[in-house]
Structure 1
Amino acid sequence: MQLVCPAGNLPALQAAIDAGADAVYAGFRDQTNARAFPGLNFSDDELRAGIRYAHDRNAKVYLALNTYPESARLQDWYAAVDKAAELGADAIIVAEMAVLDYAARTHPNLPRHLSVQGSATTAPALRYAFERFGISRAVLPRVLSLQQVERLCEKSPVALEVFAFGSLCIMVEGRCQLSSYVTGASPNRHGVCSPAKFVRWDEHPDGSRSVRLNGVLIDEFTPGEAAGYPTVCKGRFEVGNEVFHALEEPTSLNTLELLPRLKQIGVAALKIEGRQRGVAYVSSVTRIWRNAIDQVIASQAHWQPKPEWQAGLSRHAEGHQTTLGPYHRAWH
């Protein structure tokens, strides 16, 4: 299984590859990728250097061109496809059909991966993208159970990539209506559910903290309490006479214990979420997953996740909590 890791900037790209990533995914410094906000992503020169660094170490670089363009600006996405091909990217990750069609027609030798934002959760959807746009891989949304992933592995005409560790999302991937309602900004093209300019943290005399998104109070934390990302879905709300996480608790997906099963059913690649995270996160999480994958390949029958691996991942988890998410459904 290929280990695909996040690269929000050149130091993160280098850290991921040094820690054992087989491939990294990155974006241009514009709205063609779903993490477009200040301080993140690559200039042309940085990306050229990053691709050279990766290729010198037998690693690959995938370019995320995974947002949905406004029709009047579609040419910007076409230009990004041209640039990815020119710079020598190993694949592009695309959601929008017009962009996939352009890439298939103009750069047929540039591999095309269907983005998680393409929301392909069925075999017919995967078959359509393969037959119409020639995709070679699809990234599955984080809403499928393990049994559903297994059935797709049996029927898919292309290799499948799944998220292994990182943030969860209760919405259709990357298109949150809750946050866009509160901020007026599209998470798809503005880089994040909660753009920094809308977030305000307040420290109180007793050591507690509160966080507001565009003036809307979404959570309060007691002194020393671990805080999740300041997104609407992970806030606490008053419902009836209770205050609780009405939509989703701050927690991170962690599929480490499923690793032998994911390998057995034929998953081709494991993706680590977090291009917005720092170099320490990328380096630590990549190293743990590299060790785990290498050891499950070497001794699958007797493999068990090591406690120190789980402890290391928990330190980087949102709210210091992890979950199997939709992969595990007791009722399924």
Structure 2
Amino acid sequence: MQLVCPAGNLPALHAAIDAGADAVYVGFRDQTNARAFPGLNFDMQELRDGIAYAHARSRKIYLALNTYPDSARLDAWFRAVDQAAELGADAIIAAEMAVLDHACRHHPDMARHLSVQGSATTAAALRYAHERFGISRAVLPRVLSLQQVQRLCQTSPVPLEVFAFGSLCIMVEGRCHLSSYVTGKSPNRHGVCSPASFVRWEELADNSRNVRLNGVLIDRFSPDEPAGYPTVCKGRYRVGEEVFHALEEPTSLNTLELLPQLAQAGVVALKVEGRQRGVAYVRTVAGVWRQAIDEYARSAQQWRLRENWNNALAAHAEGQQTTLGPYHRAWH
């Protein structure tokens, strides 16, 4: 299985490649990708350098053009597709049909991967994208159980990639209406659930901290409690007489224990989330997954989950805790 890792800048790209990533996915420094944080992503020269670094080591670069443009600015996405082809990107990752259509018609030799934001969860949807836009791979949404992934691998007309580690999203991938409601900014095109300009921290007299998003109290942290970046879905709220994570606890997906089942199902690529994360995250997570995949490839029958692998991953997880998420549904 291919290991696909994130990079939000050139040092992270180098770290991913050096730690064993088979492919690295990146974005331009604009709204064509779903992680348009200030100071993140690549200009043309940086991406040219990154592609050269990867190709010199027989690795691949995938360019995320995975947001949904409005009709007035669609040409910017078309130009991004053209630039990806000019730079020699190995594939684009896209969801919007007009973007896929432009790539299919104008750059037929450049591989097209259907983004997780395409929300394709059935064989029929995958077949349509394959027949209409010539996709060569699809990234499955993080809402499917292991059994559903296994069935799709049997019926899909294209190879499938799944998220293996990183942040979860309980909403429609990248298009959260909670964040849009609170800030007036689309997480789709602005690339972040909580734009930094709306975030305010308050130091209180007892050394606790409040964090607000556009004036809305999202969480309150005690003096000795680690404080995560505020998002609406992972905030704590008063419900009746209790205050708790009413929507979702801060946690990260970790499917390492499912590696044998995913391999046996026919999954072709395991994807790590986190283009907004730093070099240490990329290096550690890529290194752990590289070891695990290689050990499974050498001896599937002898493969065992190592405790030190999970400990290393947990240290870089949200809230320092991990979950199998929808992959494990006892009621399915």
CA drift of 1:207 comes to: 2.8
Give the distance between the partners of 2:32 and 2:190, measured in 1 at CA. Answer: 10
Question: For residue 86 of structure 2, what is the aligned residue in structure 1?
Answer: 86
What RMSD over aligned residues (CA atoms) do the two structures have, in Å? 0.8
Question: For residue 267 of structure 2, what is the aligned residue in structure 1?
Answer: 267
Determine helix, strand or coil for the equivalent of 1:12. helix
Question: For residue 329 of structure 1, what is the aligned residue in structure 2?
Answer: 329
Give the distance between the partners of 1:263 and 1:303, measured in 2 at CA. Answer: 12
CA drift of 1:38 comes to: 1.0
TM-score, structure 1 normalization: 0.99
Point out the more displaced range, 6-15 or 299-308. Answer: 299-308
Give the distance between the partners of 1:303 and 1:203, measured in 2 at CA. Answer: 48
Letter in 1 for 2:224: G
CA drift of 1:226 comes to: 2.7
CA displacement, residues 80-109 of structure 1 (integer Å, 9 cap, x when unaligned): 000000000000000000000010000000
CA drift of 1:23 comes to: 0.2
Give the distance between the partners of 2:172 and 2:292, measured in 1 at CA. Answer: 30
Question: For residue 122 of structure 1, what is the aligned residue in structure 2?
Answer: 122
Question: For residue 202 of structure 1, what is the aligned residue in structure 2?
Answer: 202
CA drift of 1:295 comes to: 0.6
Letter in 2 for 1:31: Q
The answer to whether the 8 Å contact 1:6/1:16 transfers is: yes
Letter in 2 for 1:120: A
Letter in 2 for 1:261: Q
CA displacement, residues 50-82 of structure 1 (integer Å, 9 cap, x when unaligned): 000000011000000000001011111000000
Give the distance between the partners of 2:277 and 2:204, measured in 1 at CA. Answer: 27
CA drift of 1:316 comes to: 0.4
The answer to whether the 8 Å contact 2:37/2:276 transfers is: no
Question: For residue 284 of structure 2, what is the aligned residue in structure 1?
Answer: 284
CA drift of 1:191 comes to: 1.1
Give the distance between the partners of 1:184 and 1:36, measured in 2 at CA. Answer: 16
1:30 aligns to 2:30 (yes or no)? yes
Matches within 5 A, 1:29-178: 29-178=29-178
CA displacement, residues 241-269 of structure 1 (integer Å, 9 cap, x when unaligned): 11111110000000000001100100000
CA drift of 1:305 comes to: 1.4
CA drift of 1:202 comes to: 1.9
CA displacement, residues 141-195 of structure 1 (integer Å, 9 cap, x when unaligned): 0000000000000000001000000000010000000011000000000010001
The answer to whether the 8 Å contact 1:226/1:320 transfers is: no
Give the distance between the partners of 1:316 and 1:200, measured in 2 at CA. Answer: 24
Determine helix, strand or coil for the equivalent of 2:301. helix
The answer to whether the 8 Å contact 2:32/2:189 transfers is: yes
Give the distance between the partners of 1:282 and 1:128, measured in 2 at CA. Answer: 34
CA drift of 1:209 comes to: 1.6
1:296 aligns to 2:303 (yes or no)? no
Give the distance between the partners of 1:272 and 1:330, measured in 2 at CA. Answer: 25
Letter in 1 for 2:207: G
For structure 1, the 5+ residue unaligned runs are none
1:305 aligns to 2:305 (yes or no)? yes
Question: For residue 184 of structure 2, what is the aligned residue in structure 1?
Answer: 184
Give the distance between the partners of 2:290 and 2:210, measured in 1 at CA. Answer: 37
The answer to whether the 8 Å contact 2:37/2:192 transfers is: yes
CA drift of 1:37 comes to: 2.0
The answer to whether the 8 Å contact 1:35/1:191 transfers is: yes
Give the distance between the partners of 1:285 and 1:60, measured in 2 at CA. Answer: 18
CA drift of 1:116 comes to: 0.3
CA drift of 1:300 comes to: 1.4
The answer to whether the 8 Å contact 1:229/1:318 transfers is: no
Question: For residue 226 of structure 2, what is the aligned residue in structure 1?
Answer: 226
Give the distance between the partners of 1:207 and 1:53, measured in 2 at CA. Answer: 46
Determine helix, strand or coil for the equivalent of 2:238. strand
The answer to whether the 8 Å contact 2:166/2:274 transfers is: yes
CA displacement, residues 85-141 of structure 1 (integer Å, 9 cap, x when unaligned): 000000000000000001000000000000000000111000000000000000000
What stretches of structure 1 move > 3 A for 4+ residues in a row?
A: none
Question: For residue 20 of structure 1, what is the aligned residue in structure 2?
Answer: 20
CA drift of 1:206 comes to: 2.5
Give the distance between the partners of 2:284 and 2:321, measured in 1 at CA. Answer: 17
Point out the more displaced range, 308-317 or 207-216. Answer: 207-216
Letter in 1 for 2:177: Q
TM-score, structure 2 normalization: 0.99
Give the distance between the partners of 1:219 and 1:43, measured in 2 at CA. Answer: 35
Give the distance between the partners of 1:73 and 1:173, measured in 2 at CA. Answer: 21
CA displacement, residues 202-228 of structure 1 (integer Å, 9 cap, x when unaligned): 222333222110111011111222333
Give the distance between the partners of 2:181 and 2:62, measured in 1 at CA. Answer: 31
Determine helix, strand or coil for the equivalent of 1:302. coil
The answer to whether the 8 Å contact 1:211/1:220 transfers is: yes
